[in-house]
Amino acid sequence: MSSTNGREAIIGIDLGTTNSEVAVVEDCQPRIITDGGDGILPSAVGLDMDGRLLVGEPALNQMLAAPERTVRSIKRRMGTADKVRLGDVEYTPQEISAVILRHLKERAERYLGAPVRKAVITVPAYFNDAQRQATREAGELAGLEVVRILHEPTAASLVYEAERCRGEAAIGPRKILVYDMGGGTFDVSIVEIHSGVIEVRASHGDTHLGGDDFDALLLDHVAERFLKERGVDLRSIPRARARTLRAVERAKRVLSSHPFVTVEEEFIAERDGVPLHLSVELRRDDYEAMIRPLIERSMGSVQTALHDAKLLTRDIDRIVLVGGATRTPLIQRELAARTGIEPHHEVDPDLCVALGAAAEAALIAGEDLHSVLVDITPHSMGVGCLDELDEELGPYLFSPVIPKGSTLPAARSEVYYTASDYQKVVEVCVYQGEERDVRRNTKLGTFRVEGLTPVPAGNEIVIQFQLTLDGTLTAKATEKATGLSRQIVVDDALHSFTDEDRARARERLDRLHRLEVDGGSPAAAGAEGGATGEVASAEPAAQPAGKSPQDQAIEDTVRRIRALLDRMVPEDREEAVELIDRATSGAAAGRLEDARAAHRELQEMLFFLEEA
């Protein structure tokens, strides 16, 4: 008999449309059983040329070459009378699912070194009785007693609320919003926990919305550009299309933690016998503009689910993210902006449901359960930027690079812009904390990058942070155009921000405010993170509302360009007038990206005109 605590182990299985996982509670902690890899088993089943059974990655790999011998996304057919053909034989959806479940059961048995007979299996909240029954049958065909069919959003909530689910009545009711976006489907559920009873109060979704749609938009964007520049439509050549799609999907993942990425594929096509290579830089800002309408659509579902549950956003205690696509920062930002609640993504959104299934299994078995949350950064790590804070311009706005709650190790980067024309130096001040004003956070270190190219304001500086499990933070700043970079290493960056540190920061800040009332300026008082002389901290890409340094810079550039209009040749003048209009009306109407792009072009113009 297998045992994690002298008892028979019950495994938790997330039987997904695209991927499946198995987990078990050990030492009071749910763990994914990985079998050496990352624990994610593609939900694909196939037969190879010799009729041998393939499960997971090998089946997926032969999908293109042998679609008649491969089955994917069987979950979409559960509960129907459909049959799928594998080679010469037809199978029911239950039978195909049973193959996946058996593979996971055997994986667990190898890991635990003992037979496994019982499992908790998850299903979407919208599954009807026939679909749930089919899932139960699939489990039984795989040799498992299905001790519970659990809703996926319930499982995800359990990961974050395990202690509340042990029936601790003293803890009041909790309402959790679970936003689940995978590759092809999206759903949002409202889960309520009350005295240990956990139920889905409402669920709403869109079976045709997910990360695959983001890939399709990127594919079109890249292909259109290639068509314009090279005269070949990559979408019309099946192999080139498949390669480009794979490349943009990878690029999309990179954009979740970096502001730029270059999609590169050699020999992607040819024209008149000449090989063509693909190389396109994608910017997160542009990508976000492309996917925004889809994200808006998902936010409509959030409203519907709240309405169905007769709740308002202020009634929600926690937001939990599930599904790979929720790593997209725009989704996290939009949810936070609309609800005022920072969504939780500490637990890997691909593994959250399986971990919750294992937690439920442990609760059924009467096992002890500790918090699942380990190896996350307890504080945000970021830099100080020149911006408006409480209507005062200064280098005190905190811009997080690695947000609080990120899983470790973490590597992220953000882009910032120099604030002054011909700026040769940036000083980067690194902080830990959650306050918008860096003076209330803990300073971890500071460094300078000297010798920047003397160009107009807006020189792109990429700040990259890497934080290891043992708390070593490497902060690096790179001038994007030249690759010039500097870095610092901070040991023990996870050292907690103590009450004493906080009190000291407050005191420093109060002293500064007093000085200001008395007529001394904060910079003159030697504030930490201050920008002096030609050194200025970088300015963030996203400006808050109000008259930002960007608006001021636009005004300044426009004034200088206007003074030169008479000296320009007619074509330049026409272009300048158009750019002035784009920069000023764009800034006023909140089209910041366009305003910034026009501003940069105006600055370039100015650079040449004033040189001349």
Active-site residue list = 14, 75, 152, 180
Q: How many residues bind ligand AMP (CB under 6 A)?
A: 17
Q: Which residues from 433-452 bind ligand AMP, rule CB under 6 A? A: none
Nearest to 464 by CA among 453, 452, 478: 478
Tokens encoding 11: 């495994």
Residue 328 is a binding residue for ligand AMP (CB under 6 A): yes
If one asks whether residue 212 binds ligand AMP (CB under 6 A), the answer comes out as yes
Q: Which of 325, 369, 426, 477 binds ligand AMP (CB under 6 A)?
A: 325
- Residue 502 interacting with ligand AMP (CB under 6 A): no
CB 304 within 8 A of CB 219: no
Distances (CA, A) of 583 to 64, 406, 543, 576: 48, 36, 15, 10
- Residue 42 interacts with ligand AMP (CB under 6 A)? no
Cβ distance to ligand AMP smaller for residue 84 or 411: 411
**Minimum CB–partner distance for residue 253 and ligand AMP (Å):** 4
What is the separation, in whole angstroms, between the first and last Cα of the chain? 85
Rg value, the chain, Cα: 28
Output 14 or 539, the one with its CB closest to ligand AMP.
Answer: 14
DSSP per residue, 470-511: T--EEEEEEETTT--EEEEEETTTT----HHHHHHHHHHHHH
Of 450, 441, 462, nearest in space to 528 by CA: 441
Asked if 211 is part of the footprint of ligand AMP (rule: CB under 6 A), the reply reads yes
Query: Taking CB under 6 A as the criterion, which residues in 335-364 touch ligand AMP?
Result: 350
Answer yes or no whether residue 249 interacts with ligand AMP by CB under 6 A. Answer: yes
- From the CB of 212, what's the least distance to ligand AMP, in Å? 5
Nearest to 193 by CA among 348, 35, 359: 359
Is 388 among the residues that bind ligand AMP (CB under 6 A)? no
Residue 350 Cβ, how far from ligand AMP at the closest point, in Å?
5
Minimum Å gap between C-beta 348 and ligand AMP is 10
Q: Minimum distance from CB of 205 to ligand AMP (Å)?
A: 13
Of the candidates 370, 317, 311, the residue with the CA atom closest to the CA atom of residue 342:
317
Min. distance of Cβ 294 from ligand AMP in angstroms?
12
Task: Please identify which residue in 46, 79, 324, 433 interacts with ligand AMP, judged by CB under 6 A.
Answer: 324
- Binding segment toward ligand AMP, per CB under 6 A, in 122-130, 318-326, 404-412, 485-493: 318-326
| Window of 205-213, 385-393, 454-462, 544-552 that interacts with ligand AMP by CB under 6 A | 205-213
β-pair type (392-402, 410-417): unpaired
- Choose the stretch contacting ligand AMP; rule: CB under 6 A; options: 21-29, 248-256, 406-414, 537-545: 248-256
The tokens for 460 are 């792109």
CA 158 to chain centre: 21
Question: For residues 193 and 165, is the Cβ–Cβ distance under 8 A?
Answer: yes
| Given 4, 18, 154, 464, the residue binding ligand AMP (CB under 6 A) | 18
Binding of residue 387 to ligand AMP (CB under 6 A): no
Closest CA to 150 of 371, 355, 374, 366: 355
Rounded distance between C-alpha atoms, residue 556 and residue 570, angstroms? 22
Contact between 284 and ligand AMP per CB under 6 A: no
Q: Which stretch binds ligand AMP (CB under 6 A): 107-115, 157-165, 319-327, 402-410?
A: 319-327
Nearer to ligand AMP, 83 or 250 (CB): 250
The Cα–Cα gap between 281 and 285 comes to 12
Which two tokens mark 180? 């689940």
Looking at 2, 4, 19, 244, which residue binds ligand AMP (CB under 6 A)? 19
Preceding peptide of 58 cis, ω within 30°: no
Polymer length of the chain: 612
Whether 22 and 33 have beta carbons less than 8 Å apart is answered as: yes
CB closer to ligand AMP out of 126 and 497:
126
Please identify, using beta-carbon distances, which residue of 255 and 561 lies nearer to ligand AMP. 255
Q: Return the number of other C-beta atoms located less than 10 Å from residue 197's C-beta.
A: 10
Q: Which of the stretches 114-122, 246-254, 398-406, 506-514 binds ligand AMP when contact is defined by CB under 6 A?
A: 246-254
Positions in the binding site for ligand AMP (CB under 6 A): 18-19, 182-183, 210-212, 249, 252-253, 256, 323-325, 327-328, 350
